A and B are shown apart, each in its own frame.
Chain A
Amino acid sequence: MRRNDSGSARPSRRRASAAAWLAVGALLLAPPASSEKRLDTDRLETSYIAVLDLLAKGHRDQALQALMATETEALGSAPTASRIDRVWRHKLAVVRKALELTTPEVLVPVIVLHHDAYELYREAKQPVLARHSRDMAADLAAFRAQSTKSEADRQFAGWVLASLGASVLDLRTSGTSATILEDALALSPRNPAALLGLAWAHEIHGEYQEAAERLAALLEVEPDHAHARLRLAVCERRLGNLETARGLLHDLLEMPAEPWIRSVAYQELARTLLGLGQLEAAERVARKALEELPGEQEIAILLASICERRGRLAEAESIIEGIQPAAAGEVSARYVYDGRPDLGIEQARAKMRAMMDERLGVLASGLRWWGAGAAQAQGVAAGGEG
């Protein structure tokens, strides 16, 4: 059930449903396809084992380099769907052997390795290899969660997928990111990063109702989430639910929140009141905002425009005269709002890596069958000295 990256007839991934992990499971349990012509499958498997061996020994960076070298050699820059599939199967064959000897815990280091490789491929602008690593990490995480039925494992999988989805969000190709984040929610319905990330993806596409639903769910999990409250209010305003928006923004401004959140909240409250035809109340809000946040250009512009609408032209002019250019590198609160939200992914990634470190011993056990072949394989894996 992997995503179809090259347009072949393979069904694309929908969500981390039972079918998805069953498919991964079936591949983990089934032997790889036997006839490989152009792909040197023995070399691939040996190299991949060497990669995992490096990881098991705690050489994460070298393992990543070796993995990227191995996959780059195996897939090239424009691989066919069938070649990707074959590479995937042979790597899974190695993982399957490790799994047979240990427990699903052995998957954790493999998942994190591919997660990290995804980030590096993205930085290196290698989209095909990036997607391959991303799919491998996501599918293994989903498989592990579904097979153990543990809530902790589901949460782990949720964070892996949320982290991958967050990276895709940066590209603003929300179709893919939404799919991954929905997968994350299927595994871990209360994952705040997935809920906020999905809401953001929906907002970009003008799907305010869907965004509002995700944000409302997030506020049930974390009622004091000021950022979620702000976004929900903005979505409600766009949906025409002005009174609801007003209530949310009013409550938000009673809560502690970062200055940029307060700035946008004031702006949106004033705009909501304008929408309700309450010019005087809107002016009061804008005035209070400017007192609290005197350097906020947008608030000054908004206040000046309200004064202008109320016929006080000279006052509007005076407010405009007070606007000072921004300091170098300073961005507006509205610009921050538009950017991909901080989803708490960095903390989650740190936890993922800690979990990986704790399970390196399991991975080492899983590779013990390989035994004497290790030295030879290490030599094959490019950059795999270690």
Chain B
Amino acid sequence: MRLALVLLGVLLACPAWADELEVWIDRPVGDQFVHGPVQIEVAVSGKQAEGAVVELLLDGKSLGTLVRPPFRLQVDVGNENVAHEFEAIAKAGGGVTARTSVRTPKLKVDDQLKLSLQQFYITTSGSGGRVLDLERDDFRVVEEGREQTIVTFERGDVPLTSVLLLDCSLSMTGKPLEAALEGATHFLAGMNELDETMLMLYSDRLLRASDFTGTPDELRAALTGVEASGGTAINDHLFLALKKLDARQGRSVIVLFSDGTDVHSVLSMAEVAEKVRRSQALIYWIYLRLDPGESPDKVPSYMATWRDIAASQNEFKLLRQAVEESGGRVQVVDHLEELDDAFVGIMQELREQYVVGYYPSDPAAAGSWREVKVRVKRPGVKVRAREGYAAYP
């Protein structure tokens, strides 16, 4: 009785606009642990609901703004056992806003064995290009020889967080750098509303870095006035990019652009490859070779005081291997005119991936490498995905 009176008092005291705009989060439900891909569903009502937009936040970070109903968004919250806060802010004309939030808890410690959801981003292709009509049952996932049960499945355009890692070393002077910056600009033009990208321009040092942002104009601005200088430290900056992505949730991608192999890094590629194995990031390497007629598999020869020809070639091979293990690919570019297509093609590929997730039937020992094979049952369809994962120690 007393509670009812309080509620009545509150309602009476509220200004008239209180029922003009209301927002609820229907999914996820509070008090239930969430991990991996999560569907957020928001409802908006009230007199001002017509034309309202909804901004979604996860743990205080904006996921983007949905401009029309249905207000639904799939987001990958990762696999850590942590609590999350989902927040929805409805905004209507005249500055009228309404907000609500849902808090999902972390699991109790004795439940943690259930948490090792592994997600794989899969690119499929057939004789006519990408194959985009596959269903969950078309996929098979085999970890260390054991068939796994797919528990999550998504197709198509899942939001992504990317790091664009651009080589601005002295060897890029002139047209190569101009072409690379133009290609990067076109990559940014392909960003969707909920995508976020960070720019990292490097030589033997980190020359320029933006924040993660979903505003391509900000990123394009960071690409102006760049001058080529210095040496090449791919390994260090790849590690840097991987670490930056560690803090991000959902699908993460690195697009590495370079015209050569590493020369000046303090980290070896073998060390960075370990990090790649612990990361879920897909790595795409646009390798500007400018050597038409050579085999795509040719390993370049370079010598420096830090690495002789053999060591340099080994670094190159390890980088290529790490890229392929990540589920990405190496795109060899022999003509500057092909650079644009290379950047745009990667963005297009990312828009056409499948995401499957499973709980390993045999929990991995910490640090051990688990070989994973993703297959498609439909004949003639080729699959590219991460080749395994290493469990964090």
A-chain residues with CB within 8 Å of residue B311 when the two chains form the complex:
206
Name the interface residues of A306-333: CB closer than 8 Å to any CB of B: 308, 311, 313, 316-317, 320, 323-326, 328-332
Considering the complex, give the chain A residue whose CB is closest to the CB of B235. Answer: A301
Name the interface residues of A135-194: CB closer than 8 Å to any CB of B: 172
Nearest Cβ distance between residue A375 and chain B, in whole angstroms?
50
Given A205-B303, A305-B267, A308-B275, decide whether A334 and B239 contact each other with a Cβ distance below 8 A. Answer: no
B310 near A331 (CB under 8 angstroms)?
no
A-chain residues with CB within 8 Å of residue B393 when the two chains form the complex:
311
- Distance in angstroms between the alpha carbons of A316 and B239 in the assembled complex: 11
B-chain residues with CB within 8 Å of residue A304 when the two chains form the complex:
239, 243
Given A298-B236, A311-B393, A329-B229, decide whether A335 and B207 contact each other with a Cβ distance below 8 A. Answer: no
Q: Which of B206, B229, B310 contacts A297 (CB 8 A)?
A: B206
Q: Which of B243, B266, B308 contacts A302 (CB 8 A)?
A: B266
A206 near B308 (CB under 8 angstroms)?
yes
- Distance in angstroms between the alpha carbons of A312 and B303 in the assembled complex: 35
B266 near A326 (CB under 8 angstroms)?
no
Name the interface residues of A188-215: CB closer than 8 Å to any CB of B: 200, 203-206
Nearest Cβ distance between residue B199 and chain A, in whole angstroms?
11
B-chain residues with CB within 8 Å of residue A271 when the two chains form the complex:
266
- Distance in angstroms between the alpha carbons of A172 and B304 in the assembled complex: 9
B76 within 8 A of A: no
Given A313-B246, A320-B240, decide whether A334 and B264 contact each other with a Cβ distance below 8 A. Answer: yes
- Distance in angstroms between the alpha carbons of A311 and B392 in the assembled complex: 8
Other contacts beyond A206-B303, A335-B204: 9, CB < 8 A? A172-B303, A297-B206, A308-B243, A313-B392, A326-B206, A331-B229, A334-B204, A334-B233, A335-B205
5 closest A-B pairs by beta carbon, nearest first, are A206-B308, A326-B205, A335-B204, A298-B266, A203-B305
A337 within 8 A of B: yes
A36 within 8 A of B: no
A267 within 8 A of B: yes
B47 within 8 A of A: no
B-chain residues with CB within 8 Å of residue A334 when the two chains form the complex:
204, 231, 233, 264-266, 306
B57 within 8 A of A: no
B266 near A301 (CB under 8 angstroms)?
yes
A330 near B205 (CB under 8 angstroms)?
yes
Name the interface residues of B259-276: CB closer than 8 Å to any CB of A: 263-267, 271, 275
* Residues of chain B whose beta carbon lies under 8 Å from any beta carbon of chain A: 204-209, 227, 229-231, 233, 236, 239-240, 243-244, 246-247, 263-267, 271, 275, 303-306, 308-311, 392-393
A5 within 8 A of B: no
B236 near A297 (CB under 8 angstroms)?
yes
Q: Which of B208, B230, B304 contacts A204 (CB 8 A)?
A: B304
**What would 25 A/B residue contacts be, using CB atoms closer than 8 Å?**
A200-B305, A204-B304, A204-B305, A206-B308, A206-B311, A298-B265, A305-B239, A305-B267, A311-B392, A313-B246, A313-B392, A320-B243, A326-B206, A328-B227, A329-B229, A331-B230, A332-B231, A332-B233, A332-B264, A334-B204, A334-B265, A335-B204, A335-B230, A338-B304, A338-B305
A205 near B308 (CB under 8 angstroms)?
yes
A-chain residues with CB within 8 Å of residue B233 when the two chains form the complex:
298, 332, 334
A323 near B206 (CB under 8 angstroms)?
yes
Given A206-B311, A305-B271, A332-B231, decide whether A337 and B206 contact each other with a Cβ distance below 8 A. Answer: no
Q: Name the residue in B230, B246, B264 with the highest tally of chain A Cβ atoms < 10 Å from its Cβ.
A: B264
**A: number of interface residues (CB 8 Å):** 34
Nearest Cβ distance between residue A198 and chain B, in whole angstroms?
13
B-chain residues with CB within 8 Å of residue A172 when the two chains form the complex:
303
A-chain residues with CB within 8 Å of residue B275 when the two chains form the complex:
305, 308
Considering the complex, give the chain A residue whose CB is closest to the CB of B309. Answer: A206
- Distance in angstroms between the alpha carbons of A305 and B275 in the assembled complex: 9
- Distance in angstroms between the alpha carbons of A335 and B263 in the assembled complex: 9
B-chain residues with CB within 8 Å of residue A325 when the two chains form the complex:
205-209
Q: Which of A204, A313, A330 contacts B308 (CB 8 A)?
A: A204
B231 near A317 (CB under 8 angstroms)?
no
- Distance in angstroms between the alpha carbons of A116 and B336 in the assembled complex: 40
Kindly supply a per-residue 1/0 record for chain A positions 324-355, scoring 1 wherever the CB is within 8 Å of any chain B CB and 0 otherwise. Answer: 11101111101101100000000000000000
A332 near B204 (CB under 8 angstroms)?
yes
Kindly supply a per-residue 1/0 record for chain A positions 256-288, scoring 1 wherever the CB is within 8 Å of any chain B CB and 0 otherwise. Answer: 000000000001000100000000000000000
- Distance in angstroms between the alpha carbons of A332 and B305 in the assembled complex: 14
Q: Name the residue in A200, A308, A328, A337 with the highest tally of chain B Cβ atoms < 10 Å from its Cβ.
A: A308
- Distance in angstroms between the alpha carbons of A325 and B205 in the assembled complex: 8
A-chain residues with CB within 8 Å of residue B247 when the two chains form the complex:
317
B267 near A301 (CB under 8 angstroms)?
yes
A320 near B206 (CB under 8 angstroms)?
no
Considering the complex, give the chain A residue whose CB is closest to the CB of B275. Answer: A308
Nearest Cβ distance between residue A230 and chain B, in whole angstroms?
11
- Distance in angstroms between the alpha carbons of A326 and B266 in the assembled complex: 16
Considering the complex, give the chain A residue whose CB is closest to the CB of B244. Answer: A320
A-chain residues with CB within 8 Å of residue B306 when the two chains form the complex:
334, 337-338
- Distance in angstroms between the alpha carbons of A323 and B209 in the assembled complex: 10
- Distance in angstroms between the alpha carbons of A298 and B206 in the assembled complex: 10
Q: Name the residue in B266, B303, B304 with the highest tally of chain A Cβ atoms < 10 Å from its Cβ.
A: B266
- Distance in angstroms between the alpha carbons of A334 and B267 in the assembled complex: 12
